[in-house]
Structure 1
Amino acid sequence: MILSDKTLIKMLNDHSLVVTDLEPEQIQPASIDIRIGNTFCIVEDSPSGIINLEDEIQYKQITAEKYTLLPGQFVLATTMEYVELPDDLTAFVEGRSSLGRMGLFIQNAGWVDPGFKGEITLELFNANRCAIELCAGRRIGQLVFAQLDEKALNPYRGKYQGQRGATGSKVFLDSKK
C-alpha cells in the first residue's frame, strides 16, 4: 500500500520514518520530494577505457552548488535529505516529469530497501542536445513509500548503509565473496 501524506506526517512526527532537512512543502499527497545535494561524482578515465566489475572504480568527487551536465554525460549526485527507513517500509525513487521532459533522466535503481539509512545516490544522465545546469537544493525527484505486510527478515545492512554524498559503485566487493 502506498502511504498518504497524512500517514507520512504521522511517521515523521513519531520518528518511525526519518527524513532530515525536510521542508513542509516537500510533503506531497503520496510522496516526499527530494532535492539534489552539492556533491557529484564522475567516473575517472581508465588507461584501458574499460570498466572491470572486479576492480574498484575510481571516481572524481566534486563539491559545488552548480554542476553543468553536458549532453550525453553521466554523473552521480546525492540527495540533500538523509533518510532512515524502518524495517517494514520501502521507498521508490521517482524522477520528476518536468525534468524528464528536458531530457534529464534519473537512472537510479529506483528502490530503497527497508532498513536503509543514508543519503540517496542518484545516477543522472543528460539525453538532451543541450547542457543542463543542476543546482543544489532544487527538487529532483520524489520518494514514494510502501508499507510491507510485516517487518523484513533481513532488512538492509549492506555496503551503502550510512552513505553520505554521491557514492560510487561498490560492485567490486561482490566479486570478493
Structure 2
Amino acid sequence: MILSKQAIKQAIREGKLSIAPFEESQIDFAHIDLHLEEKILIIKSKGFVLAKTKEKISLSDDLCGFIEGRATLAKQG
C-alpha cells in the first residue's frame, strides 16, 4: 500500500517513520522529496550511478520504501 500525504504525516507522528534533517514541506501527495549529497560515484562500464541522500531515513518493520529519480533529472541526461 502506498501512503497518502496524511498517512505519511501520521507515520512520522507515531515514530514509524523518521527522517533527519526534515521539513514538512518535503512531503507531497504520496512521497517525500529527498536531496542528494554533492558527491556521487559513476561506474562508466554500465552507466551505473551510486548516490547518497542528505537525509537519514528509518522505517518501522511494517513499512518499506523505495527511491527513484525524478523525471526532471532524467530529462537533463
Same structural fold, with TM-score higher than 0.5 when normalized by the shorter chain: yes
Matching of residues 59-138 of structure 1 within 5 Å: 74-103=48-77
Gapped runs of 5+ residues in structure 2?
Answer: none
C-alpha distance in 2 between matches for 1:81 and 1:6: 20
Pair 1:37 & 2:29 matched: no
What stretches of structure 1 move > 2 A for 4+ residues in a row? 38-43, 73-76
> How well do the aligned residues superpose, as a CA RMSD in angstroms?
2.0
1:19 equivalent in structure 2: 19
Greater C-alpha Rg: 1
Q: Percent identical across equivalent pairs?
A: 38
1 or 2, which has the higher strand percentage? Answer: 1
Aligned residue pair count: 75
Give, in angstroms, the shift of residue 41 of structure 1.
3.4
- Change beyond 3 A, Cα 1:101–1:42: closer
- Change beyond 3 A, Cα 1:98–1:40: closer
TM-score (normalizing by structure 2): 0.81
- Paired residue secondary structure (1:80): coil
C-alpha distance in 1 between matches for 2:55 and 2:24: 13
C-alpha distance in 2 between matches for 1:40 and 1:100: 16
- Paired residue secondary structure (2:37): strand
User: Which residue identity does 1:80 align to in structure 2?
Assistant: K
C-alpha distance after superposition, 1:69-93 (max 9, x if no partner): xxxx654221001111111111121
